[in-house]
Copies of this chain bind each other. A is one copy, B any other.
Amino acid sequence: MRCFRPRSSKAVDEVDKTKAVVENHQASQSRQVSRDVRADVSRLMRPDDANIVGNVHGGIILKMIEEAGCIVGTRHCNTQNGDRCLAALVRVEKTEFLCPVFIGEVAHVTADITYTSKHSLEVQVKVMAENILTGAKKLANKAALWYVPCSLKNVEKITEVPPIKYASEEKEEEGRKRYEAQKMERLETKARIEEVVPPPPSPEQHTVGFSQSSLIHLVGPSDCTLHDYVHGGVTMKLMDEVAGIVAARHCNTNIVTASVDAINFHRKIKKGCVVTVTGRLTFVSNKSMEIEVLVDASSLVQEDKGKYRAVSAFFTFISLDKENKPLPVPPLKIDGEEEQRRFEEGKARYLQSKAKRLADKERQQ
């Protein structure tokens, strides 16, 4: 327990001694690259990182690459006096996945700072995948990322980037060219990026269509039982998530689940399926919202099976203020017969459940 006394000079001495040992140890290995301009992130690939045939998702590799880049960038930008800052990603250059990575392999990600301008820096990253059983190593990815340092006090303020030393003038000149090229491209896309029309239209606020939401989930190993079927609890968690998004979109406040109507699980969902969970408002009272949630499953790899309805249920949410007291909910704008019918059914469930609560209370008294 000597450790938790940072004020004790003894402890500090000890830590310093250890630090000296550690540094000495590393120096002896001539890790000549300065610690400021290199970062490593590495870990073992797990079933949750991969698809059902064991290929690690590209997204997992991209996430590790960015983590290494953020570490080396943030570390470097804080090596001088001034505001503390965090390196924020502004651009990733085109990158190729050179070979698949598998569960049980170790991914080693190494990030080096390769160019600095006044307010941005380039990080080049290599991903090596190591099979620890055979010893085989392969280059899985190479990427280049651009970061800018944002002040921790004021995230809109871009701080200055300390310059790095280059191995040669040629290297610096190459870096400057890459910098200019990406700067130009970023300016170009800045205008373009906003234009691309997203597919779904955005209807009027407080209508059913406005808050309606869907999420897609690819069933992974950790979602499943020993049978390779999805745990009912996993499905319910996804349903609650979508219902919560619908409720929050409708009232723009902090919302919580108040109750869930009976749910029947008629069809099982197998590993490797894509689950689409859709939620839409059916009924709104003064202080509660009823959201119908539909769960559809379809196998990605078995064409014949098609999409099928696995579960459906009604969730009731309420909106809370900062002291966790219920807030009024905006009324629902109904459009068409179908929505009206669902609203009436929801109202019937609401009144029935209210009556039952009163009856329960009387019985208890």
| Pair A266/B86 contact, Cβ less than 8 Å | no
A9 within 8 A of B: no
CB-based contact A3/B97 at 8 Å = yes
- CB-CB nearest in chain B for A197: B338
> A47-B222, A198-B294, A260-B94 in contact; A78/B302 too (CB < 8 A)?
yes
Contact of A44 among B15, B40, B67, B264 (CB under 8 A): B67
Check A186 for interface membership: any CB of B closer than 8 A.
yes
On whether A99 and B4 interact (CB within 8 A), knowing A48-B47, A58-B257, A70-B225, the answer reads yes
B236–A86 touching, CB < 8 Å? no
Tally of contact residues, A, Cβ under 8 A: 177
A 112-143 to B, binary, CB cutoff 8 A, 1 in contact else 0: 00000000000000101010111101110010
CB distance from A4 to the nearest CB of B (A): 6
Q: Is there an interface contact between B2 and A241, defined as CB atoms closer than 8 Å?
A: no
Q: Which residue of B lies closest to A81 (CB)?
A: B304
Q: Is A152 in contact with chain B by the CB < 8 A criterion?
A: yes
Give Cα distance in the complex from A22 to B57, angstroms: 23
The answer for the CA separation of A318 and B256 in the assembled complex, in Å, is 35
Contact between B256 and A58, CB atoms less than 8 A apart: yes
Chain A residues 197-251 with CB under 8 Å of chain B are: 198-203, 205, 212-218, 220-222, 224-227, 229, 231-234, 236-242, 244-245, 248-249
Nearest residue (CB) in B for A57 is B240
Contacts of A331 in B (CB 8 A): none
Contact residues in B for A18 (Cβ distance below 8 Å)? 98, 139, 142
Contact string, A309-338, partner B, CB cutoff 8 A, digits 1/0? Answer: 101100110101010111000000000000
| A237→B62 contact, CB < 8 A | yes
A5: CB under 8 A from chain B?
A: yes
Say whether A221 contacts B47, CB under 8 Å: yes
**Which residues of the other chain, B, contact A347 by a CB distance below 8 angstroms?**
none
- Asked if A359 is an interface residue, CB under 8 A from chain B, the answer is no
Residue A344 is within 8 A (CB to CB) of chain B in the complex? no
* Known pairs A71-B274, A126-B22, A155-B227; A325 contacts B7 (CB<8 A): yes
Q: State whether the Cβ of A363 lies closer than 8 Å to any Cβ in chain B.
A: no
A357 at the interface (CB under 8 A from B): yes
In the assembled complex, the Cα of A55 lies from the Cα of B256 at a distance in Å of: 8
Q: In the complex, what distance in Å separates the CA atom of A84 from the CA atom of B305?
A: 13
Indicate if the CB atoms of A138 and B19 lie closer than 8 Å.
yes
Say if the beta carbon of A31 comes within 8 Å of chain B: yes
> What residues of B have a CB within 8 angstroms of the CB of A63 in the complex?
231, 233-234, 236-237
Give chain B residues whose Cβ lies under 8 Å from the Cβ of A253.
133, 301
Determine whether the beta carbon of B155 is less than 8 Å from that of A268: yes
Task: Decide if B218 touches A221 in the complex (CB within 8 Å).
Answer: no
Beyond known contacts A97-B258, A200-B278: 16 more, CB 8 A cutoff: A3-B98, A6-B99, A30-B30, A39-B216, A42-B214, A55-B320, A66-B232, A84-B134, A90-B265, A90-B266, A100-B256, A152-B301, A218-B245, A221-B224, A226-B271, A248-B301
Pick 20 A–B contacts, CB within 8 A, sort by A.
Answer: A4-B326, A14-B364, A18-B98, A26-B201, A41-B43, A51-B254, A59-B244, A66-B233, A68-B216, A85-B301, A88-B225, A96-B259, A103-B226, A104-B226, A132-B249, A152-B227, A155-B227, A198-B276, A221-B221, A226-B271
Pairs A-B, 8 closest by C-beta atoms = A58-B257, A66-B233, A59-B240, A89-B232, A59-B237, A63-B233, A47-B221, A3-B98
